């Protein structure tokens, strides 16, 4: 349940007047007006947008982003496309994030242009991050091969160049989806760098790779002393459905003074892996927690665990019907990934987390 009022019948004139009124906070009930904005209304907002103060423009975009995360029925894509041209780099960055679920191949060209030409490093990093979605779509043949190739070439160029570190790290994370032969060596170099930020990005990319060959590297980092490295290792273990990581993840939940973000990641990764003790553990924690936010995360994890268990059962039936024996649980994991039975990855990491 979100805290935003439902859409009210408001006129374009009311919205524009409030947008330009610096003396009052923009009403939350008006935020939904920007959902599916099109035609003359979109053009009217575009025409007055330069008159809105930079701080108010940014605040509005951030409010829309928060609403989009809370309510999957709203779409601010059309308005976000307009604000990609905003003179404020902070607004452009949020606009990119608002488009994170948009699969229009034409956006790939827009993001490539921003990655290569935007003067602000934060915007370039956001564009590199957004391009990961198009690599994933290309790998599953949902967009033309030439679009995939242009995206990969642009990101590989960034990795080979003198771009700022954050943009190169985001490029590597996006390339995690790619089957290009150059990518594993790039991931390996980042992993071996002994730099916590680069190691974190390498693990993020490993989780996106759907390649269980990275299992030993992920396992080694599940208890890394650097919080960001450990967090991405936990997420990668879930994304790769590493059965062997289950015991460590369960043990992590028994340790005190645990970071809430890490704890949430452990919940979700366990829900992706499933198996012995997972449901009982998550249900027990849900019964005992007094934290409403943690309870909501646990409920979502338990829903996902049900999906995981259903897929595993479906896979077992498939193997039984084919007269095959299952000797390695990870072989089943790979088979599910290959035939598309797994939850489709939408460009997020485990738990729906995405880079900001």
Domain ranges of the chain: 6-102, 105-209, 272-342
Comparing CA positions, the residue from 145, 203, 149 lying closest to residue 173 is 203
Query: pTM of the entire structure?
Result: 0.85
Residues with Cβ within 8 Å of residue 78, at least 6 apart in sequence: 36, 37, 38, 42
Comparing CA positions, the residue from 278, 226, 228, 223 lying closest to residue 252 is 223
Comparing CA positions, the residue from 303, 319, 243, 302 lying closest to residue 276 is 243
CA distance 156 to 306: 38
CA distance to 129, 156, 188, 231, per residue, from 168 (Å): 10, 9, 14, 20
**Do 34 and 64 form a contact (C-beta atoms < 8 A)?**
yes
CA distance 129 to 173: 7
pLDDT (tens, 9 = 90+) of the chain, 356 residues, equals 455 445 557 789 999 999 999 888 899 989 999 999 999 999 999 999 999 999 999 999 999 999 999 999 999 999 999 999 999 999 999 999 999 999 999 999 999 999 999 999 999 999 999 999 999 999 999 999 999 999 999 999 999 998 899 999 999 999 999 999 999 999 999 999 999 999 999 999 999 999 999 999 999 999 999 999 999 999 999 999 999 999 999 999 998 657 899 999 999 999 999 999 999 999 999 999 999 999 999 999 999 999 999 887 665 555 445 544 333 333 333 333 333 333 334 445 444 566 66
**Residue 275 exposed, middle or buried by CB count within 10 Å (0-12, 13-18, 19+):** middle
């Amino acid at each position: 349940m979100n805290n935003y009022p439902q859409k009210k019948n408001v006129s374009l004139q009311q919205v524009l007047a409030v947008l330009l009124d610096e003396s009052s906070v923009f009403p939350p009930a008006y935020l939904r007006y920007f959902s599916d904005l099109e035609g003359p209304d979109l053009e009217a907002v575009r025409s007055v947008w330069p008159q809105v103060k930079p701080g108010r423009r940014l605040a509005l975009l951030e409010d829309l982003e928060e609403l989009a995360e809370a309510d999957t029925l709203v779409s601010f894509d059309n308005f976000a496309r307009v604000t990609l041209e905003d003179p404020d780099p902070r607004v452009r960055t949020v606009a990119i994030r608002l488009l994170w679920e948009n699969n229009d191949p034409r956006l790939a060209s827009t993001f490539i242009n921003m990655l290569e030409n935007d003067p602000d490093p934060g915007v370039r990093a956001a564009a590199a991050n957004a391009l990961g979605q198009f690599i994933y779509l290309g790998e599953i043949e949902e967009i033309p091969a030439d679009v995939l190739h242009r995206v990969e070439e642009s990101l590989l160029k960034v990795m080979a160049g003198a771009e700022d570190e954050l943009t190169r790290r985001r490029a590597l994370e996006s390339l995690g989806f790619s089957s290009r032969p150059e990518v594993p060596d790039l991931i390996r170099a980042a992993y071996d760098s002994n730099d916590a930020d680069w190691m974190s990005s390498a693990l993020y990319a490993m989780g996106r790779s759907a390649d269980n060959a990275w299992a030993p590297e992920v396992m080694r980092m599940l208890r890394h002393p650097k919080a960001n490295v450990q967090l991405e290792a936990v997420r990668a273990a879930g994304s790769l459905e590493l059965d062997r990581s289950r015991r460590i993840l369960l043990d992590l939940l028994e340790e005190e003074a645990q970071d809430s973000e890490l704890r949430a990641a452990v919940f979700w990764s366990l829900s992706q892996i499933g198996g012995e003790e997972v449901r009982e553990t998550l249900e027990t924690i849900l019964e005992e927690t007094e934290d409403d936010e943690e309870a909501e995360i646990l409920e979502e994890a338990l829903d996902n665990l049900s999906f995981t268990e259903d897929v595993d059962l479906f896979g077992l039936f498939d193997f039984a019907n084919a007269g095959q024996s299952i000797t390695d649980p990870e072989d089943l994991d790979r088979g599910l990934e290959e035939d598309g039975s797994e939850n489709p990855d939408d460009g997020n990491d485990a738990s729906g987390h995405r880079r900001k």
